[in-house]
Amino acid sequence: MRACRPTKVHDWLFGQDHDPADDETAEQPFDSFGPMTDIRRALHRPSLQTGMQGPHDCTRVLVAEGDAYHRRVLRVLLAGPRLSTIEVEDGQAAVDLLALRSFDLLLLDMDLPRMAGVEVIRWVRRSMTPWADIPILGLLNEKHRHEAGKLMSIGMTDWTAKPLSRHHLADKIVHLLPGLYDAGL
């Protein structure tokens, strides 16, 4: 019979019968962040980095775009190893997702169903949350371009015109998130 001993993080991660020598040879389970072997190695030897990319090592972008065509265009323009995008079709879904997850940038169409872009901007900026200061890049069509000044006065950080230009969009994103200057947008 096994004697009871206090549970430690090591026991929780590896089980009480863990033998560190088994790490290299035994088949290890796989999780969504990479092989468990790499995680165990990093815990045993924290000074040796494994080169794994963590779940939040990329820039997280929330795309709130009502038009399926423009969502598809943005998906192509923002494809890359340093960007992680999530798309929503309406303003209410954008607000709900912002409340659940952290994002580095919000790309926001003004003609959204269920909650217009201007209402999303007001809601985000008035919220008493850590993400209330998230950069908001407005996606303005011809109808809303004359409102750009008003939208920026209520909290939109910057804007770009539709139809979208890869070069112009990349410049705006790098201006808002300078760490992406070498991301190959």
One pLDDT digit (tens) per residue for the chain, 185 residues: 444 444 444 444 455 554 555 445 445 444 444 555 555 555 555 444 434 444 456 888 999 998 889 888 888 888 878 888 899 999 999 999 998 888 999 999 998 888 898 999 999 999 888 888 899 999 988 888 888 889 899 999 999 988 888 888 888 988 898 877 776 66
104 contacts 82 by C-beta, under 8 angstroms: no
* Beta-carbon count within 10 A of 128 CB: 5
The pTM assigned to this predicted structure is 0.66
CATH of residue 116: 3.40.50.2300
Considering the domain architecture, whether residues 37 and 83 belong to the same structural domain is answered as no
The overall longest dimension of the chain from CA atoms, in Å, is 77
Strands (DSSP E) contained in the chain are 30-31, 34-35, 59-64, 83-88, 105-109, 136-140, 158-161
Considering the domain architecture, whether residues 38 and 65 belong to the same structural domain is answered as no
Structure tokens at 17: 């019968």
Residue 34's identity, in one-letter code, is: G
Report the SS3 class of residue 21: helix
* Number of domains within the chain: 2
Considering the domain architecture, whether residues 103 and 32 belong to the same structural domain is answered as no
Considering the domain architecture, whether residues 104 and 14 belong to the same structural domain is answered as no
